[in-house]
């Protein structure tokens, strides 16, 4: 029997990003992959990006270079807000094999199947982003961040979040409770609700207002 595939994941940005990155890592572990520290050699490096600061491009490039220094043969996958905003710019970075946008970042099958010689982009128009993927963080602490809302409809002049995450949408209370119970089963003692704008909680998973 061959050894388990390894992956390393580095998340930039907010607690929502952190919860999503953690859930993607959990899914890979459920598929038999073994997580290692980003500073160690790994078969696959996943960079979960942020777009809020002006340093997004620089940080992404630095992490790609670090990954390739750790293992020149490694596969590099870039996801997150910056991946949605600037997919072609990221794909042009030497060493990047796969760029996944907002609708595809939870596609664990695509991450596992990526080829080391590939240079692929899977990013839809932000107007087509209409799904809600549940997520919660898991680490050695007893506090977990649980995603209950995503996206934003306000389009403030200074903010790129609506362009990176799409319209405001959320899951149902029943599904939030299901996810919370999973977190508790894994050892969570404190649950912090997170989202882009949790005051918008109540919109359906495709962004429409739920009926009363």
pLDDT digits (tens, 9 = 90+) for 99-115: 999 999 999 999 999 99
Q: What is the mean pLDDT of residues 88-100?
A: 97
For position 56, what pLDDT does the model report? 86
In the chain, the domains with their CATH numbers are: 6-127 (3.40.50.2300), 129-200 (3.30.750.210)
For position 155, what pLDDT does the model report? 92
Asked if the model's pLDDT at residue 3 lies above 90, the reply is: no
Cβ contacts of residue 62 below 8 Å, gap of 6+? none
pTM score, whole prediction: 0.93
Asked if the model's pLDDT at residue 187 lies above 60, the reply is: yes
For position 161, what pLDDT does the model report? 93
pLDDT digits (tens, 9 = 90+) for 115-148: 999 999 999 999 999 899 999 999 878 999 999 9
Q: What is the mean pLDDT of residues 29-47?
A: 98
Cβ contacts of residue 150 below 8 Å, gap of 6+? 16, 132, 165, 166, 168, 169, 170, 195, 196
Asked if the model's pLDDT at residue 71 lies above 60, the reply is: yes
């Amino acid at each position: 029997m061959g050894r388990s595939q390894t992956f390393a994941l580095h998340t930039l940005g907010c607690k929502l990003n952190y919860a999503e990155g953690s859930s993607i890592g959990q899914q890979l572990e459920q598929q038999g992959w073994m997580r290692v520290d980003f500073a160690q050699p790994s078969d696959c490096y996943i960079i979960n990006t942020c777009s809020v600061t002006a340093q997004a491009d620089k940080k992404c490039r630095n992490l790609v270079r670090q990954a390739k220094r750790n293992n020149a043969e490694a596969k590099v996958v870039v996801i997150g807000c910056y991946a949605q905003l600037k997919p072609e710019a990221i794909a042009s970075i030497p060493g990047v094999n796969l760029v996944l946008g907002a609708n595809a970042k939870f596609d664990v099958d695509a991450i596992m199947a990526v080829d080391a010689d590939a240079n692929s982009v899977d990013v839809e128009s932000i107007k087509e982003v209409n799904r809600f993927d549940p997520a919660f963080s898991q680490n050695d602490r007893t506090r977990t961040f649980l995603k209950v809302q995503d996206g934003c409809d306000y389009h403030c002049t200074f903010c790129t979040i609506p362009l990176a995450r799409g319209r405001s949408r959320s899951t149902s209370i029943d599904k939030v409770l299901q996810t919370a119970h999973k977190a508790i089963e894994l050892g969570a003692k404190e649950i912090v609700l997170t989202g882009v704008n949790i005051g918008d909680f109540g919109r359906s998973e495709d962004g429409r207002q739920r009926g009363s």
